A = this chain, B = another copy of it.
Amino acid sequence: MAKQVLILGGGFAGLAAARALQGAPCTVTLVDHNNYHLFQPLLYQVATGELPTEAIATPLRPLLAPTGACFRLGRVLAIDLAAHTVQLAENATLSYDYLIVALGSVTNFFGHADLALHAFDLKGVEVAEQARSRILYAFERAMSCTVASERSAWLTFVVTGGGATGVEFTTALLELIQILMRRRYPKLQNTPPRVVLIQGGSTLLPSFAPSLQAAAAAKIRALHGDILFDTHVTAYDGLTVQSVSAAPLPARTLVWTAGVRAHPLTAALPGADSHSGRVVTDALLRMPDHPEVFVVGDGLAPRHQSPWPQVAPFAIESGRYAATVIRAALLKQPPPPAFIYRDPGSMVVLGRYDAVCQIDRWHIRWRGPGAWLLWIGLNLYRIMGTRNRALTLLDWAADYGNRGNAIEIIRKK
């Protein structure tokens, strides 16, 4: 009987692994609790009304069909390393000869249950749509508010975390607010909305060069956003944001991008780091004592060198590499050389027509419309499925042609 390869997770890493196993002498099954692959880097644009969910969520079944891999909709409950099985919530047990753990990361609220309850993270399509509805609802409530302090709380939007997601979301939100104020809510001009980005460190975008960090901060301020550095949010009850070094801030909307940790099932594997939940593997991305189990993507802890980034290119490279190791083993060939990751560079979009871009290999530090165009091109290229790409293009064209349309439907929970 053919060997069974089981992939947990249909994100960038899992999908890359399934694709790289095409034609290998094994049966491949990919399990995900969603029936779609999510283009996570653009999810913040769903939250700011720039993109419909369908443009960045591609059904996994047709994506996998050409690779020969099977898709299984299911929520993983437990991994039994000794028995070589995985248990699903849907009352089923799957066995494997090789296992690729590609479960990604989850939001880290650092134990704050109140934040988990009241804040919006940007980790799934449902919560991104809820965040969009909340932002639009806040404007509607502000329109009918007769108490100034309440109106101001509805129009205060707090973002925590000054990494790529926090900065991209903040600039997109500030631009959405400009559109809404000009086109829908000119009557609110006497009580303008306030966006506050709260960052734990003393700079935005810690992994970028100081000149690009400064450019990001300058852009946010130019769009009338506030930045609070060296501040941590300590509590949020849905009404007031409490933090260590700033006054209590009445705000009805808090978006949390201040931390992730590995998926709980990855964090439960032997040897996982207690803080990050990430797992250290051998040079072939295999678990210690379990050479049949691979950890890839966000769940993979760096070995000797500088921290591996939890980004799509790394997820794709590591997923593809694990597939190469498995293919070699199935064919009884020697394994490939040890995994190395060459950072292709990072880019952070700063709203329409602006971005910062850093490619260390070539000593590139770039900002402005050229960097933005590069970003647009890369993202459009990466969004899979021609129908989705056409929809995205049409939507963006309509968006820019109309000087900014947004999806304005408020959905109920």
A183 within 8 Å of B (CB atoms):
yes
**CB within 8 Å for A144 and B409 given contacts A184-B62, A390-B394:** no
Q: How many copies does the complex hold?
A: 2
Q: A73 contacts B126, CB within 8 Å?
A: no
Q: Which residues of A27-63 have CB atoms within 8 Å of chain B's CB atoms? A: 34-36, 52-54, 57, 59, 61-62
List B contacts of A409 (CB < 8 A).
Answer: 35-36, 53-54, 57, 59, 125
Among A257-265, A327-335, A400-408, which stretch is in contact with chain B?
A400-408
List B contacts of A137 (CB < 8 A).
Answer: 35, 73
Q: How far, in angstroms, from A50 to B301 measured CA to CA in the complex? A: 43
A74 within 8 Å of B (CB atoms):
yes
Chain A 116-158: CB-based contact to B (< 8 A → 1; otherwise 0): 0000000011100000000011001101101000000000000
A92 within 8 Å of B (CB atoms):
yes
Q: How far, in angstroms, from A59 to B185 measured CA to CA in the complex? A: 13
Residue of A72, A143, A408 most packed against chain B (CB within 10 A): A408
Q: A54 contacts B52, CB within 8 Å?
A: yes
A182 within 8 Å of B (CB atoms):
no
Q: A144 contacts B72, CB within 8 Å?
A: yes
The residue on B at minimum CB distance from A385 is B405
List B contacts of A36 (CB < 8 A).
Answer: 408-410
Interface size on A, residues (CB 8 A): 41
List B contacts of A394 (CB < 8 A).
Answer: 390-391, 394
List B contacts of A73 (CB < 8 A).
Answer: 137, 140-141, 143-144, 410
Chain A 70-103: CB-based contact to B (< 8 A → 1; otherwise 0): 0011100000000000000010100000000000
A412 within 8 Å of B (CB atoms):
yes
Q: B141 contacts A408, CB within 8 Å?
A: no
Chain A 369-413: CB-based contact to B (< 8 A → 1; otherwise 0): 000000000000000000100110011001000100101111110
The residue on B at minimum CB distance from A92 is B144
Residue of A92, A143, A409, A412 most packed against chain B (CB within 10 A): A409
Further pairs besides A35-B140, A61-B184, A124-B412: 17, Cβ < 8 Å: A35-B136, A35-B137, A35-B410, A36-B408, A54-B409, A57-B409, A59-B408, A61-B408, A72-B144, A73-B140, A73-B141, A92-B144, A92-B146, A126-B412, A387-B402, A391-B394, A391-B395
Q: Which 9 A/B pairs are nearest by Cβ-Cβ distance?
A: A73-B140, A59-B408, A35-B410, A57-B409, A387-B398, A36-B409, A61-B184, A126-B412, A394-B394
Interface residues of A (CB under 8 A from B): 34-36, 52-54, 57, 59, 61-62, 72-74, 90, 92, 124-126, 136-137, 140-141, 143-144, 146, 183-184, 387, 390-391, 394-395, 398, 402, 405, 407-412
Q: List 16 A-B contacts (CB under 8 A).
A: A35-B140, A35-B409, A36-B410, A52-B52, A61-B408, A62-B183, A62-B184, A72-B143, A73-B140, A73-B141, A73-B410, A92-B144, A125-B409, A126-B411, A390-B398, A391-B391
